[in-house]
Amino acid sequence: MRRPTPLGRLARRIGRFAVSGLLLAAAGTTVLAHPAAAAGLTPVTGFGSNPGNLSMYTYVPAGLPAGAPVVVALHGCAQTANDYYANSGWTKLADTYRFAVVFPQTSSANNSLSCFTWFSPADTARGQGEAASLAQMVAKAESLYGSDADRVYITGLSAGGGMAANMLAAYPDLFAGGSIASGLPAQCATSQTAASTCQYGSLNLTPAQWGDKVRAQYPGYAGPWPRVAIWQGMSDYTVYPVNATELRDQWTNVHGLSQTPSSTASLPGGTTLTSYDDASGKPAVQLYQISGMGHGLAVDPGSGAEQCGASAAYFLDTICSGYWTAKFWGLDQQGGGTDPGQGGEKLPAPAGLAAGTPTGTSVPLTWSAVSGASSYRVYRGGTQVGTPTGTSYTDTGLTAATSYTYTVAAVAADGTVGTVSAAVTATTSGYVPTCTTASNYAHVAAGRAHTGGGYTYANGSNQNMGLYNVFVTHTLKQTALGTYVLADTGC
């Protein structure tokens, strides 16, 4: 629970908290005591000397075998381990793909807004402060659950994302991969005063200079370097989108790669994915840019295979970032397009996959026949959606004005799944306007509006909605992805 401060103190509190309260677009707030962790979380003590004064919680699916991966998930400012457990979607993915999740938690004793202190050298250097505590949690999880030390990953939101980037720099030998959501480059700031420059602007460094900041955290380390996913809302007014570009520059340089994408694809939720492949053709860095999304973690509530998470403040309904991150890390165990445990010689990839004219809810697909195929498997975003016996399929039940990526594979008579085809992307037609009535504070928290000078403005249209607080209420109509207009007189 949070409550606004009197407006007369707003400017003074913005100056005090903006640099440390990354997650709080509402800088004029105070934070009440944290709620207790949910029953699904297990508190873990005795994980080490804990120099960073952190708390450790874990979620472990029932019957998890030894040798499973571990994901460390860092919450944002004014959040708890329980918030991330309940809303991020990582528990669903842990159940699906079979891995353990560590949910670290900081507190107001470390930072007034319970942020991980990503801007403090005393907490981001190898072997010191919060960074050392997080490394101790990984060692504890590996000991408790017999986890695979070669498959440990870290992800985080906002201040948690900044800390995740620093952990990848300080402990590249500990993590196989990372994911940074609405976060900051490693070592972007080394003081609380400098943090606001990172949030709201660019340091104008070259990729090599950004890469040097990573290399300096563990001198002499020669690799391999973690694979890094970067998630950013393009209407984020709390951590500006330039941070995602700088993260891309930083980690492509660390991997010795060009900043020119190897490939670009359109994903659901208005998401553009650019990949940067290593010499073997495997993505080493991926950048996910979400049109119209504000500050928060991308989730997509629902029961579908590509869906995860719950909508809440700073958990924004666009796309399940955890699902795509898990695929990038290889946690989905799809094995390059074949089903685990199936043998036989693989059939070649179908040629000529093409999308016909979409409707608002469907996409028709066709492809060339493969000799020896008894059926085909159609994948949307890597998830199987159809098993036609012919060379056409229409995917239905889709969302209007949304991009979908498809591949197809041939299946032999013995059930062996062949090589997956090249991808094709199609965008459904139309747009279904939606209306939401809420306070200005709630609109900003949900990514429908942003603030400036104590006032609230609708995203896209920039219409002035009045003072930024919980007392002024408006109805906003979404007319396009990332565009909202005032609709108080009717929607």
List, by residue number, the catalytic residues: 158
Q: How far is CA 444 from the centre of its chain?
A: 19
Write out the E strands in 367-402. Answer: 375-380, 383-386, 392-395
User: What is 252-270 written as a DSSP string?
Assistant: HHHTT--SS-SEEEEETTT
Tokens 């010689």 map to which residue? 345
Burial class of 157 by CB neighbour count within 10 A (0 to 12, 13 to 18, 19+): buried
Q: CA-CA distance, 109 to 299, in Å (whole number)? A: 30
Q: Which residues does 200 contact at the CB level (< 8 Å), separation at least 6?
A: 240
Q: CA-CA distance, 43 to 144, in Å (whole number)? A: 13
User: Which three-class secondary structure state does DSSP give residue 202?
Assistant: coil
Q: How far is CA 352 from the centre of its chain?
A: 32
Q: How far is CA 82 from the centre of its chain?
A: 18
Specify the DSSP element, H or E, that contains 19: none
Residue 343 token pair? 């043998």
Selection from 315, 329, 325, 24 nearest residue 180 by Cα: 325
User: Which residues are 62's β-sheet partners?
Assistant: none
Q: What angle do CA 100, 105, 109 make, to 5 degrees?
A: 165
